[in-house]
Amino acid sequence: MKQPPPSPSRLGALRSLVGRFAFLALVGSAFALMLLGKADTALIERLRGAVSDAVVPALEVISRPAASVAKVIDNVREMAAIREQNALLREENERLLRWQAAARLLEAENDSLKDLLNYVPDPRASFVTARVVADTGGAFAHSVLITAGERELVEKGQAVVSGQGLVGRVAEAGKRSARVLLVTDINSRIPVVVGAGRLRGILAGDNTDRPRILYLRTPGAVSPGDRVMTSGAAGAFPPGLPVGVVTSVEETAIHIEPFLKRERLEFVRVVDYGMTGILRDVTASDGPLGRNR
C-alpha cells in the first residue's frame, strides 16, 4: 500500500547508512547470542524463566478456549464411535481387573519378602500437578510450558509424567512457570533400562517422534516390543517410570516409540522424589502401586 518514495537528500543517505549499520550490528548480535547460549547456559536459562513467567498468565487465558474447542471436537468425534468403544472398554476393563488381582497378589508377596529382608524402602515421591499452557516446540525444539514453578517447589532436573508415562524433565523453572524438555527433544538424555533383561542405556532424543537408545552394552539382546523404563541411575529420576516401547532394532540405531502423546498433554505431574517432609502444602499421592510405607 503506502510506501514513501526514497528521498534523494543527504539526510536520507545518512539514514540508510545508519540503518545498514544497525542491521549488521543486530545480525552480529544474533550470532553473539548463539555463542552466548552455548557458553553461559545459566544466564539463558534465567532469561527463559523470566520470559515464560511473563507470558504464562496470558497463555493460560488463551489456552483455555483452545483446549475447550479441542474438547468439543473430541467429544463429537467420540460420540460417533461410542457403542463400539464401550464394548472395547468393557473387555479391557475385565482384562485389567484380572491384572489388578495379579498385581495385588504380587504386591502382598513383595511386601512380605521385603519385610523378611529388612528392605529400606525408597523415599516416597510427591507430585505437583500443573497445566500445560504452551507447546513451544515448532520444528526445532520439543518443550512445553507448565503453570508451576519455584513457588510450587518445582526445580530443574525433576521428572515430569502424565497418565501415559514419562513426559520429560524440567529444563528450567521460573517463579510461576517451568519449561519441560520432552523426551523427544534433541537435548534430552535419560538413563533407561530396556526389556526384561533390564539392559542399561541412555535414551537420546533427536527432534523426531522416535528417540534412540544409546550406549547399550548388548544391543543384540533387545527386540521390538520391549518396554523401556527409567533406570534411576541419574539420581533425580525415580526408577521404573514407563517411557515407551522399542519399535525397531537396526545395526546402527535402536528406536523407541514413547508413550508420551504430545497433542494429548493437558495436565502433567512433576515428580518430586525424596523430598517428602519439605513439601507440606502440596498434595502427595502414592506411586503406581502404592509405595511401601
Partner 1 sequence: MRPNLWQRIDMFVRHQVPLVLTLLLLLVSVVPSHAAGLTRIGPMLALIAVYYWAIYRPDLLGTGAVFLIGVAQDLLTGTPPGVAALALLLTQAVVLSQYRFFNARSFAVTWWAFSLVAAGAMTIQWLAVSLVYGTLVDASAAFYGYLMTVAIYPVVGWLLARVQIAFLRDV
Distance in angstroms (rounded) separating the CA atoms of residues 53 and 64:
18
Closest CA relative to residue 132, chosen from 145, 141, 118, 148: 145
Among 62, 96, 97, 113, binds partner 1 (CB under 8 A): 62
Within 176-195, the residues that bind partner 1 by CB under 8 A are 179, 181, 185-186
Asked if 55 touches partner 1 (CB under 8 A), the answer is: yes
Asked if 79 touches partner 1 (CB under 8 A), the answer is: no
Asked if 236 touches partner 1 (CB under 8 A), the answer is: no
Q: Which is nearer to partner 1, 188 or 231 (CB)?
A: 188
Asked if 27 touches partner 1 (CB under 8 A), the answer is: yes
Among 7, 13, 19, 109, binds partner 1 (CB under 8 A): 19
CA distances from 120 to 72, 114, 123, 129, 231 (A): 48, 8, 9, 28, 18
Closest CA relative to residue 228, chosen from 238, 240, 219: 240
Q: Which of the 8 DSSP states describes residue 12?
A: H
Distance in angstroms (rounded) separating the CA atoms of residues 64 and 131:
10
Q: Which is nearer to partner 1, 111 or 135 (CB)?
A: 135
Question: Segment contacting partner 1 (CB under 8 A): 87-95, 141-149, 194-202, 246-254?
Answer: 141-149
Asked if 157 touches partner 1 (CB under 8 A), the answer is: no
Closest CA relative to residue 231, chosen from 254, 252, 201: 201
Asked if 171 touches partner 1 (CB under 8 A), the answer is: yes
Closest approach of partner 1 to the CB of residue 21, in Å? 10
Among 13, 14, 17, 47, binds partner 1 (CB under 8 A): 47
Closest approach of partner 1 to the CB of residue 241, in Å? 22
Asked if 92 touches partner 1 (CB under 8 A), the answer is: no
Among 122, 150, 155, 206, binds partner 1 (CB under 8 A): 206
Q: Which three cell numbers stand for residue 127?
A: 507430585
Distance in angstroms (rounded) separating the CA atoms of residues 59 and 51:
12
Among 14, 17, 33, 108, binds partner 1 (CB under 8 A): 33
Among 91, 107, 115, 209, binds partner 1 (CB under 8 A): 209
Closest approach of partner 1 to the CB of residue 33, in Å? 3
8 Å CB contact between 203 and 215: no
Among 12, 13, 29, 102, binds partner 1 (CB under 8 A): 29
Distance in angstroms (rounded) separating the CA atoms of residues 272 and 44:
24
Quick one: angle between helices 10-39 and 41-80, nearest 10?
Answer: 90
Quick one: residue 6, left, alpha or beta (phi over 0 = left, psi -120 to 50 = alpha)? Answer: beta
8 Å CB contact between 280 and 204: no
Distance in angstroms (rounded) separating the CA atoms of residues 189 and 236:
13
Within 121-140, the residues that bind partner 1 by CB under 8 A are 132-140
Q: How many chain residues touch partner 1 (CB under 8 A)? A: 61
The site for partner 1 (CB under 8 A) is made up of: 1-4, 19, 22-23, 26-27, 29-34, 36-38, 44, 47-48, 51-52, 55, 58-59, 62-63, 66-67, 70-71, 74, 132-145, 171, 179, 181, 185-186, 206-209, 262-266
